[in-house]
């Protein structure tokens, strides 16, 4: 599968979101929308009304990363705001079977994610339920942190299991992705690369996407 790049909205300029997203729209494969509730993580990003206002300005797929303690309650609202996929943390839903059903009942694709210290075995029994397995390569809550290379082992294990069992899940990696760390994650088997600082944090985001893509296709 070809590598896909999803810039993280968190690193965009919140006073001109539509312009920032519009600038990279043709160069990227989806938009990573980081929602933080100030409870699951010690930070607050933006909420439903921002997503709703951004929705008509772009055709990009909205991949919504829910760093929230109570994500399922909001599924109908994320759907109504125009999101296509919700990814929830296994740390708040140790058995996500019902939550996965609720996402699908709301017409949403479903992803699971795990923090750097959470072992692969926590998500392993539920991989058949997901469209997206997001392996966090930093502690969630803030952009601009350094990539944690130890998580690459989880990418390798996920790749092996998804391929050997013919499962549909994409493997996504998020946090500290640059052309160099992206290349490492690609070699380990990741499909979708989330990058905030390395795209919206650069003077020329379109050139930054091209540079990342070149590294991933190497």
Contact 129, 96 (CB under 8 A): yes
Compare residues 14 and 218 and give the one whose CB is closer to Zn ion.
14
CA distance 184 to 144: 18
Min CB(68)–Zn ion separation in Å: 12
With contact defined as beta carbons under 8 Å apart, do 122 and 136 qualify?
Answer: no
- CB count within 10 Å of CB 138 equals 19
Residue (118 or 128) nearer to Zn ion, CB = 118
Query: 132 Cβ partners below 8 Å, 6+ apart?
Result: 63, 85, 87, 109, 110, 111, 112, 169, 170, 172, 192
Active-site hit among 63, 131, 174, 191: 174
20 is catalytic: no
- Which residues contribute to the site for ligand DX5 (CB under 6 A)? 8, 10-11, 32, 34, 65, 138, 140-145, 174-177, 194-198
How many angstroms separate the CA atoms of 150 and 165, rounded? 24
Tokens for 158?
A: 């996920």
Q: Give yes or no: 95 in active site.
A: no
151/136 Cα distance (integer angstroms): 8
Residue 39 Cβ vs Zn ion, minimum distance, rounded to whole Å: 16
Cβ nearer to Zn ion, comparing 4 with 65 = 65
What is the separation, in whole angstroms, between the first and last Cα of the chain? 14
Catalytic, out of 20, 34, 170, 191: 34
What is the closest distance, in whole angstroms, from the C-beta atom of residue 36 to Zn ion in the complex?
Answer: 9
- The mark string for 128-167 relative to Zn ion (x by CB under 5 A, - otherwise) is ----------------------------------------
Residue from 12, 41, 51, 65 in contact with Zn ion (CB under 5 A): 65
Query: Catalytic site residues?
Result: 34, 174
Binding residues for Zn ion, rule: CB under 5 A, are: 34, 65, 174
């Amino acid at each position: 599968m070809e590598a896909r790049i999803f810039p993280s909205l968190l690193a965009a300029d919140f006073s001109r979101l539509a312009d920032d997203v519009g600038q990279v729209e043709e160069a990227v494969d989806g938009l990573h929308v980081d929602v933080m509730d100030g409870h699951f993580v010690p930070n607050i990003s933006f909420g439903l009304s921002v997503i709703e206002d951004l929705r008509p300005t772009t055709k990009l797929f909205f991949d919504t990363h829910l760093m929230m303690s109570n994500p399922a309650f909001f599924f109908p609202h994320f759907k109504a705001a125009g999101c296509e996929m919700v990814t929830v943390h296994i740390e708040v839903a140790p058995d996500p079977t019902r939550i996965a059903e609720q996402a699908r009942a709301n017409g949403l694709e479903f992803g699971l994610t795990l923090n750097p210290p959470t072992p692969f075995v926590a998500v392993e029994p539920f991989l058949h339920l997901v469209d997206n397995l997001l392996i966090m390569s930093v502690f969630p809550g803030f952009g601009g942190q350094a990539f944690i290379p130890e998580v690459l082992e989880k990418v390798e294990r996920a790749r092996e299991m998804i391929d050997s069992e013919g499962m549909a899940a994409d493997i996504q990696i998020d946090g500290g992705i640059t052309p160099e760390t992206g290349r490492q994650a690609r070699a380990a088997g990741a499909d979708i690369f989330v990058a905030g600082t390395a795209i919206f944090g650069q003077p020329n985001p379109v050139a930054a996407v091209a540079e990342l893509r070149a590294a991933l296709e190497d």
